[in-house]
Amino acid sequence: MFEPQFKNTNKIVKYIADIASAKEVISNAKIIPQYDNKLKQDALIRSSHYSTSIEGNPLNLNEVKTLINNKQKATTKAEQEVLNYFNALNHLDEYSDENITKDTILSMHKDLTNNLLSNPEYEGKFRQTSVYIGNPHTKDVNYVPPAAYKVPGLIDELLDWLNNETKDIYPVIIAGIVHYELVRIHPFIDGNGRTSRLMATLILSIHKFNIDKYFTLDEYYNQDRQAYVDALNSADKNHDLTNWLEYFCQGVLYSINKVKKEVLQLAEITSKYETTIELTPNEISVMNLLEEKKHIQNKDIQTMLNISPQSSYKIIRKLKDKELIESIGKGRNTEYVLK
């Protein structure tokens, strides 16, 4: 029987209270439909980049944006890995509604590893061999997961707990526990990290904690990968998940606060312009940038939106036509300010 061991420390309680508060603010904010879709797409792209980057994927964020926004087909394994994660995340609700089963985990793994493994038979199948976690170059072994024959039973125990024993546990804690336990069991030959992170996201989604799909946790992990690994490893010796859950809750709070800040800035700007002037999501982004920086150049818009100079000039021209911004200076030194 699976019984996770942890303490509800003051840190965890404080993080949970702040998470609940931020969630309430975001849920009550007014977001126009056009920008709602853009926030969701941006979150999907960032999650796809950061979760695969943790595993060593070489594509940078702009390359991932171009790949996804242009609906390109994968020509390399790196691109396939990103697209697999994006597609799985984009259809997250289809994996489960309430109860999570073995098929949920297996189908998720199959989608994440599609056309990536040397042996396609391993896609969506529990491993049947022993594995170890360590440095392949130095042969140093950091952790030896449970024997392969134990994997199905350990997954059954985890799912029994998840579906029957979590009624009184805060959803963020549940997601953190499942994330850790899947990493510990290491049920697959490859793709365990991606599957664990996506499963945690699924649990948050089921409990309405992914905030209308604006939310991405993977960016927090990727900022300091060693801290992420150390937090996971902290429970390996004595099976006490407290340190890991403190880290996990801190990451959820960090991520939800980023969404809160963006949503509040957007709500403030859209409240000014929505009733009188129709703006596209990109135009609102530029207005948001101007509110923050006071003056910008064409290159700032290009960088923020990952677009060409010509596309940036079109946005500038439309905002000038709507008499919302004006230009200062000439040529390459031209700057734009709120009118």
Residue 2 lies in a domain: no
Residue 25 lies in a domain: yes
Give the residue among 152, 297, 133 at the shortest CA–CA distance from 229: 133
Q: Whose structure tokens read 């199948």?
A: 125
Task: Report d(CA 146, CA 157) in Å as an integer.
Answer: 14
> Three-state DSSP class for 155?
helix
Q: pLDDT, tens digit, for every residue of 167-195?
A: 999 999 999 999 999 999 999 999 999 99
Number of domains in the chain: 2
Position 276 confidence tier, pLDDT thresholds 50, 70, 90: low
Q: Which two tokens stand for residue 213?
A: 């799909």
3-state secondary structure 3-65: CCECCCCHHHHHHHHHHHHHHHHHHHCCCCHHHHHHHHHHHHHHHHHHHHHHCCCCCCHHHHH
For residue 34, pLDDT over 70 is answered with: no
Say which range, 71-80, 142-151, 325-334, has the weakest mean pLDDT: 325-334
- Between the CA atoms of 239, 204, 12 and 221, what dihedral angle is there, to the nearest 10 degrees? 70
Given the structure tokens 């969701």, which residue do they identify?
40
Q: Is residue 143 part of a domain?
A: yes
Quick one: 85 and 129 in the same domain? yes
pLDDT tens, position by position, 234-259: 988 788 999 999 999 999 999 999 98
Tell me the pLDDT tens digit for each residue of 136-168. Answer: 666 677 788 999 999 999 999 999 999 999 999
pTM: 0.82
Question: What residues form DSSP beta bridges with 335?
Answer: 328
Q: Are 222 and 54 in contact (CB under 8 A)?
A: yes
Mean pLDDT, residues 127-136 taken together: 84
Confidence of residue 323 (pLDDT cuts 50, 70, 90): confident
- Which of 237, 266, 295 is the last residue in one of the domains? 266
- Residue 15 belongs to domain with CATH number: 1.10.3290.10
Based on the fold, state whether residues 283 and 311 are members of the same structural domain: yes
How far is Cα 148 from Cα 284, in angstroms, rounded to an integer? 52
Instruction: Tell me, yes or no, whether 242 and 217 share the same domain.
Output: yes
CA distance 268 to 191: 41
Residue 1 in any domain: the answer is: no
Q: Which residue, 91, 90, 117, 140, is CA-closest to 188?
A: 117
Q: What is the pLDDT of residue 149?
A: 97
pLDDT of residue 314 exceeding 80 = yes
Q: Does one domain contain both 60 and 190? A: yes
Q: What tens digit of pLDDT does each residue of 110-130 get?
A: 999 999 999 999 999 999 999
Q: Give the domain range for residue 62.
A: 10-266
What would the mean pLDDT of 204-218 be, rounded to a whole number?
Answer: 80
- Arithmetic mean of pLDDT, 269-291: 74
User: 25 with 125, same domain?
Assistant: yes
CA–CA separation, 105 and 15 (whole Å): 28
Residue 137 belongs to some domain of the structure:
yes
Burial class (CB in 10 A: 0-12, 13-18, 19+), 251: buried
**3-state SS, residue 240:** strand
**Which long-range contacts (C-beta less than 8 Å, at least 24 apart) are formed by 275-284?**
277/322, 277/324, 279/322, 280/34, 281/34, 281/35, 281/37, 281/38, 282/307, 282/315, 283/315, 283/318, 283/319, 284/34, 284/35
Does residue 7 have a pLDDT over 90? yes
